[in-house]
Amino acid sequence: MDQALKKRLPEEQRFAELADFFKVMGDPTRVRILWALDIREICVCELAELLEMTVSAISHQLQYLREAKLVKSRRQGKHVFYSLDDEHVRAVFETAIQHLEHKQ
């Protein structure tokens, strides 16, 4: 057994967190939301219109994405605007898209 490799092996908790991260992205609706947010910050009502879904359904998915720290929100008056949480989320999302396009 390669002991150097074994020493680099993360704790089980890290693997569980990584699996959860990818589970969040395993839903087509959430991926559609991330796609829109990769382009620009957007409010819930505009996302609902864009994706032809109810505000309630979009809000539910956004809550899930916020809990996973993939999106963040800011309030402006009555509206809540969402964006990708940081450049790491953008990089993972865009890298996945590039990978799929490369395979076609």
Tell me the β-bridge partners of 83.
Answer: 72
Tell me, what's the pLDDT at 15? 94
Sign of CA dihedral 62, 66, 39, 25: negative
Domains annotated on the chain, with CATH: 15-102 (1.10.10.10)
Digit-coded pLDDT (tens) for 59-93: 999 999 999 999 999 999 999 999 999 999 999 99
CA distance 66 to 101: 27
30 and 64 in contact (C-beta within 8 Å)?
Answer: yes
Residue 102 CA to its chain's centroid (Å): 21
pTM of model > 0.85: yes
